[in-house]
Chains A and B, each alone.
Chain A
Amino acid sequence: MAALPERPESWIRVCPEGLFVEPAGIYIDPVRPVDRAVVTHAHADHARPGNRAVLATAETLAIMRQRIGPAAGQTQQAVPYGEVLRLGEVDVALVPAGHVLGSAQVVLTWRGRRVVVSGDYKRRLDPTCAPFEPVPCDLFVSEATFGLPVFRHPPTGHEIAKLVHSLALFPERAHVVGVYALGKCQRLIAELRGAGFDDPIYLHGALVPICAIYESFGVPMGELRPALAATREEMRGRVVLAPPSAIADRWARRLPDPVTAMASGWMRVRQRARQRGIELPLVISDHADWDELTETITELGARQLWVTHGNEEPLVHWARGRGIAAEALALVGFDEGGEGEPPPLAGEEEPPTGDVLPLSAPEDA
């Protein structure tokens, strides 16, 4: 009997360059330079420099150009959400993943079979990007950053209220919040604005350009001020956002007696927060928590599941227990190095590289 052409293994496979879709001739989020790449979103471990042709949403391409300049791709093709393109023999569409501005799932249809590659995603509401769109499929390729049942993010409003309460309790102290430059930063700002917080928010220099891109795509940020230009006195009782590497380092010394906060899904585990010397952990994540992961898999009805980057094993165990053919997909190049912040502005901070905990946890969570 001939191999069934529709079995996903026969047309999608893991190569050293990344996930390769053979009948379309494309790699999804390749980790090495390739001829044709589809990029789900602009985080550094998904959007790497040096590919020839790059297909992504306009938002993702704009952020990539800001971060890596011409290396974002020799030819760049912006595709709106939902538009179906024929690449080789495969129908390809990008649909919202709800992770950060411009983030997309890749929907691949070939010979009547459908595969959805999620990239990174979340299900809860995020005022800065389009919500995750569930697309029923035969094979779902899911991330598993928080693939352990202890990770269940609390309501975002609860965490925002914690920050606002601390500002009231310690009005003489700046509140410096560690955020990832792409996504978490803008979401935290938007959530604060949504909660009625209209004070100016102070930014580390590394966060400014992406906030500007968000605004150019119609996501309002309210009044933002560069922290570098502010006096110590002025920042008392203020919210100051900075990359995680800067919040407890020399950069933060300009701040008046700062309360050190961090917005990340990893803050759910106390020991993680304490190891980093965080005084105010805010459990806010751009990745699906355990309930979102399992509910999404159930909702999509996929009979086959490939699990990538994160805690694959528990999610595979869970899915197999429900009769889903689940595999852990060993994609190299994700997670280990963290989100990979862009290089700092000259003189503003020391390079953050290497100053991460020796944990196997991705840092963009």
Chain B
Amino acid sequence: MRTFAALLDALVFMPSRNGKIRLMADYFAQVPDPDRGWGLAALTGALSFSAAKPAGVRALVMERVDPVLFGWSHDFVGDLAETVALIWPERPGANREPTLSEVVEALGAAHRGAVLGLLERWLDALDADGRFALIKLITGSLRVGVSARLAKTALAEWGGQDVDAIEEVWHGLTPPYAPLFAWLEGRADRPAVSEGAGFRPLMLANPLEDTDLGALDPVAYNAEWKWDGIRVQVVARGGERRLYSRTGDDIGRAFPDILEVMDFDAVLDGELLVVRDGQVAPFNDLQQRLNRKQVTARMLRDFPAHVRLYDLLFEGPEDLRGMPFGARRERLELWHARVAPRRMDLSPLIPFEGWETLAALRAGAREAAIEGLMLKRADSLYVPGRPKGPWFKWKRGALTLDVVMMYAQRGHGKRSSFYSDYTFGVWREGELVPVGKCYSGFTDEELVRLDRWIRNNTVRRFGPVREVAPGLVLEVAFDSVHRSTRHKSGVAMRFPRVHRIRWDKPAAEADRLEMLERLIVE
């Protein structure tokens, strides 16, 4: 448990992806089976214990701690699990520290009424980091900034295998994954590729550069709209139903309305959207449905989910990935006509003559649900990863706005000594109102210059944040604007990034809020 607790602790503070990978790889190398397998299961979200609730944890600590002191402590620390972990008055020598396996196995076997008793014994035996890890583990929210995909990437790096090779066998395995570790350590053969409802690594598209177009033969490509939702893999195999995000995270729990209609046997690729009366709603609406553990009937009614299909990977047991796109598309259309699943339609192919007609279509598409175009070679096989050539995404031109820098904050990791995260605003009745944040789109040289400007123009400091004099105009690019109740300005921009730094432009000539409001997609 101690090593697992130390890993969680280190992951929380580690800002860089590579650093996280190294920490996890070190854990897999140091920790024996079956503990590391349970650790992997915890990181990939494969463990869930329903019997322990935060209220139970709170009740336990209240039996031992002065409620006044607990109240002050909770106010100071903020997080309940952390407060309990720190304040817990242990009884030294009372118990031996449990291993992660003992914890997982005992919780799995315990009936509901016994859980708090177990928990109390473990809290006595662990140190503060161990208690924090234990509480986070059993209440089901690690929040260490690690996706299932990243954990598998660390596993792949440590084991010297490709992450997609792990992905292919993943679904056939269960915690604590002994055969997987045996294979990665070269002690056993690769586990069988799972036939079940596992995630199949996605084929991804490259962004189309304007210079690419001349070299491409329009006849060889199909075009589709690029929908502004999230990419999903719809998997219904052998009675199991799964909905995966593009990184392989199982998001089905948040979309029971989609799972419900998956009464077929196939693996499909498509875009998850909110569709009302046949109209695709803005991305903001879809966001209401993401990352939720509980979905209310009201949410299902107000934000109905929908999948717009564009590829068929498996039909029944038949693997179609070795067929060309054109053939898969025909099979997809036949399959869709025959099965006619509710809440799912086809992403239409767009007929076009040459690149000019397509460019005109792309330029004319201002509809909120459309991000641009997808180009797919008719002869492209379905290859995991991002091969250069077969698929391109051709995003429509971004919107831009001249904004004024208001606050700057230091970045993380390599950027920790630089002010690299900016809050910017636009004018409203002579005042600046913050409308967004950005932290990309500039070169390292520009960052050095921005950092210097910020230090020389600071008017106030709030810990890591500096308020700057309104004197620097940034031209920010963004994909769209939506209404937002979370922002004081009432608007939220999607993917804002610095397009150009307008060292030359006076702040007073930056844009006004009305300008931004005019771009809102309702």
Which chain A residues have a beta carbon within 8 Å of chain B's beta carbons? 148-152, 154, 162, 166, 169-170, 248-253, 257-258, 260, 268-271, 273-281, 311, 313-314, 317-318, 321, 354-359
Contacts and interface: CB of A to CB of B under 8 A. Distances in A.
Given A154-B129, A248-B416, A318-B69, 15 more contacts: A148-B73, A149-B86, A154-B127, A251-B417, A257-B414, A271-B77, A273-B13, A274-B12, A275-B464, A277-B15, A279-B13, A279-B15, A279-B413, A314-B73, A356-B463
B484 to A, nearest CB: 25
A270 B69 contact: no
A13 to B, nearest CB: 28
Interface in B376-418: 410, 412-414, 416-417
A276 B464 contact: yes
B65 interface: yes
Interface string B230-261: 00000000000000000000000000000000
Contacts of A359: 463
Interface in B1-52: 6, 10, 12-15, 19, 22-23, 26
A150 B23 contact: no
Contacts of A166: 10
B128 interface: yes
A273 to B, nearest CB: 6
A contact patch SS: loop
A197 to B, nearest CB: 19
A196 B269 CA distance: 57
A178 to B, nearest CB: 12
Contact of A279 (B14, B73, B410): B14
Contacts of B416: 248, 252, 258, 260, 277
Greatest chain A CB density within 10 A among B26, B76, B89 is at: B76
Contacts of A270: 12-13, 79, 82
Nearest to B127: A154
Given A270-B12, A280-B13, A314-B72, A152 B86 contact: yes
Given A154-B128, A252-B417, A269 B410 contact: no
Contacts of B79: 270-271
B464 A277 contact: yes
12 contacts: A150-B76, A150-B87, A154-B128, A169-B23, A252-B417, A270-B12, A271-B77, A275-B463, A276-B463, A277-B416, A311-B72, A358-B462
Contact of A357 (B66, B82, B129, B463): B463
B contact patch SS: helix
Contacts of B461: 354-355
Nearest to B2: A158
A359 B463 CA distance: 9
A268 B26 contact: no
B141 to A, nearest CB: 14
B83 interface: yes
B22 A170 contact: yes
* 4 A-B pairs with least C-beta separation: A357-B463, A150-B86, A150-B73, A248-B416
Contact of B83 (A150, A169, A275): A150
A355 B464 CA distance: 8
Nearest to B78: A271
Contacts of B15: 277, 279
A93 B65 CA distance: 38
B13 A314 contact: no
B229 to A, nearest CB: 32
Contacts of A314: 68-69, 72-73
A278 B13 contact: yes
Interface string B455-486: 00000011110000000000000000000000
Contacts of B22: 169-170
Contacts of A150: 73, 76-77, 83, 86-87
Interface string B56-69: 00000000011011
Contact of A317 (B6, B68, B77): B68
A69 B22 CA distance: 48
Contacts of B66: 317-318, 321
A248 B13 CA distance: 15
B6 to A, nearest CB: 8
Contacts of B83: 150
B325 to A, nearest CB: 43
Contacts of B410: 248, 277
Contacts of A252: 416-417
Contacts of A275: 463-464
A288 to B, nearest CB: 16
B82 A250 contact: no
A163 to B, nearest CB: 12
Nearest to A173: B19
A208 B413 CA distance: 27
Given A154-B128, A317-B68, A148 B464 contact: no
A149 B71 CA distance: 11
Contacts of A356: 463
A248 B417 contact: yes
